[in-house]
Amino acid sequence: MERVGVVGCGLMGAGIAEVCSRAGLDVVVAESNEAAAAAGRARVAKSLERAEAKGRIESASEVLGRLRVAAELEALADRDIVVEAIVEDEAAKTDLFRKLDKIVVSPTAIFASNTSSIPIMKLGVATSRPQNVIGVHFFNPVPVLRLVELVPSLLTSADTTERARALVEGRLGKTAIDCQDRAGFVVNALLIPFVLSAIRMLESGFATAKDIDQGLVLGAAHPQGPLALADLIGLDTTKAVADSLYDEFKEPLYAAPPLLARMVDAGLLGRKSGRGFYTYD
C-alpha cells in the first residue's frame, strides 16, 4: 500500500497524515471545506517544522510535498487505504463509510477507522465490503506515541488485518496490539474508568485538580495526571468514549460524571478549547 487517504485533518487526522508522509507514502487528506483543508495543512506544516528544528526529519518541505489536502471525498477514489479520523459520533462515521464505499475504486482497498470506542462491526456493515473494514486506532500525539490498536470485526478478513499490520509496523514503525471488537478496545477500556474516577474525586471536593494529578505523577510515576490527560484527550472525546463504554457494558464505572457532561456542554473541552480542568494559552 503506497496511496493513503485520511478523512479529517484535526488533531488525530493531521498526526496520522504526518506519520504516513514521513514514512514516504503518498497521502491525500479530505476535509469538509476549503477553510478546514487550509487549516489542516497548516497544522501538519507547523508540526513538521518543529520536527525539522529538533532534527527528527531532514526536510519539512520534502515531507509536506508528499501530502495533499482536498475539500472533497472524491479525492480519495484511488487510495489503497483510507483512515477515518472524524468526530467520535457513530451516525457521522457510518454515513462516511457509506460514502467511501461508493467513492473508493479498488475492491481491495482497506477502510480503517481511528475510532476509540465505536464497534467496528457497525461501521463495516454500512459498506458493501465489511471484510475490508478494520479499526486502526492511533494515540495522541500520533508522531510520538508508538502504539496502534488493530481491531478486526467478526467480518474482517485475515488478509485485511495482516495488510493493516504490515502498514502500521512495517512502514510506519509503530507497535500493533490485537484487540477484540468491544467498545474501548484495550487501552480506553482501562484508561477511561481511571480518568472518570479522578473527575468524580474532584467533583466531590475530595481533592483539588492539582493535588489529584500530582498524586499520580509523584506517587505512581505517571507521566501526567488523569485530569491533565483528559484535557489532552479532549473532554468531549473522553465523554464520547465513556458513553460508548456505558452503552455496551452498563457498568456504573463507565458512566460520565455530571461535571464532565456540564463542562462539555459549556465548551470547556481541554487544551483544544483553551480551558478544561486547567487553563491554557
Tell me which of 113, 114, 116, 244 is the catalytic residue. 116
Beta bridge partners of 4: 27, 81
Residue 204 to residue 216: CA distance in whole angstroms: 18
Q: Is 116 one of the catalytic residues? A: yes
Cis peptide before 141 (omega within 30 of 0): yes
Q: Is 222 one of the catalytic residues? A: no
Q: Is 132 one of the catalytic residues? A: no
Q: Is 137 one of the catalytic residues? A: yes
Q: In sequence order, what DSSP letters do the residues of 46-111 get, joined into one string?
A: HHHHHHHHTTSSS-HHHHHTTEEEESSGGGGTT-SEEEE---S-HHHHHHHHHHHHHH---TT-EE
Torsion of CA 223, 43, 273, 217, to 10 degrees: 0
Tell me which of 18, 84, 149, 244 is the catalytic residue. 149
Catalytic residues: 116, 137, 149, 188
